[in-house]
Amino acid sequence: MEPADKTLRVVLADDHHFFREGLRGVLAEDDIAVVGEAANGEEAVALVGELTPDVLVIDLNMPGSGGVEAIRRIVASNPAVEVVVLTVSADGADVLQALAAGASSYLLKDTRTDELAACIRQAAGGYTVLSREVTQTLSTHASRNLPEESATEQARGALPALTARELDVLRLLVEGADNATIGRELSISPHTVKQYMTNIFEKLEVKGRVQAAVYAVRAGLA
């Protein structure tokens, strides 16, 4: 997590100049420094390699290789850079592809300007930030891919050796709940939630909440 007194360094990647200009102004008001701007995926890859920012904020629909391919290349070569998708699409395929490529957060462009800086700071601190519509899309996508049998039984067949309570935790994670909310929903302590999370990550062989959510959605867990 970044020290409180350290200026956050961000690269913006979006093919609309006026959008980048507006976002730069919004972030500047919150003492977040935009150290570079790219208009396509190739430029984003080059700039991140050159500037090593704390966060890359990137659109998906850009000329050339596009956002998803750029994310994949950037995460492979610069794993310490947090990638925040900021786009207009809440389509399930776009969300899954971006998260699977390595994006840590996924926000929509209609996110209120007074919330954007806070979301980017949270992402820089290692948290997963998803717009509400994105969370709903993931849940809907999971539900539509379930067969007629119960979600729990399907999940047990698709996910390796998860207990019933771990499935409950994972399902709430997919819905976008944080640890405190999961604890309240299941009447367990935050420490116990963290332990369940650790067990889930180990069993699924994933590195964090986003990868676990993507895994669960693809397995058909509502």
Q: Tens of pLDDT along 134-154?
A: 877 766 665 555 444 444 444
Residues 123, 168, single domain; the answer is no
- Strand stretches in the chain, DSSP E: 8-13, 32-38, 55-58, 82-87, 105-108
Q: How confident is the model at residue 80 (pLDDT cuts 50, 70, 90)?
A: very high
Domain boundary pick from 136, 163, 197 = 136
Residues 69, 23, single domain; the answer is yes
Residues 107, 159, single domain; the answer is no
Residues 62, 83, single domain; the answer is yes
Q: How confident is the model at residue 220 (pLDDT cuts 50, 70, 90)?
A: low
Tell me the pLDDT of the chain averaged across its residues: 84
Residues 115, 203, single domain; the answer is no
Domain span at residue 22 reads: 8-136
The pLDDT of residue 217 is 72
Q: Tens of pLDDT along 159-184?
A: 578 898 999 998 888 776 778 889 99
Question: If you write DSSP's letter for every residue of 126-191 in order, what string do you get?
Answer: T---B-HHHHHHHHHHHHHT--SS-HHHHHHHHSTT--HHHHHHHHHHHTT--HHHHHHHHT--HH
**CATH code for the domain in which residue 88 is found:** 3.40.50.2300
CA distances 222 to 107, 138, 189, Å, are 21, 9, 23
Q: Taking 70 as the threshold, does the pLDDT of residue 156 lie above it?
A: no
- Which residues have CB under 8 Å from 201's CB, separation 6+? 207, 208, 212
Residue 1 lies in a domain: no
**CATH code for the domain in which residue 202 is found:** 1.10.10.10
With b for 16 or more beta-carbon neighbours within 10 A and e for fewer, the 48-81 pattern comes to: beeeebbbbbbbbebeeebbbbbbbbbbeebeeb
The domain total for the chain is: 2
Residues 177, 103, single domain; the answer is no
The pLDDT of residue 20 is 94
Q: Taking 80 as the threshold, does the pLDDT of residue 188 lie above it?
A: yes
Residue 26 lies in a domain: yes
Residues 21, 126, single domain; the answer is yes
Q: Tens of pLDDT along 83-131?
A: 999 999 988 888 888 988 889 889 999 998 888 999 999 889 887 788 8
Q: What percent of the chain has pLDDT over 90?
A: 50
Q: Taking 70 as the threshold, does the pLDDT of residue 5 lie above it?
A: no
Residues 119, 195, single domain; the answer is no
Largest CA distance in the chain: 53
The pLDDT of residue 212 is 81
Copy the structure tokens of residue 193: 């939630």
Q: Taking 60 as the threshold, does the pLDDT of residue 59 lie above it?
A: yes
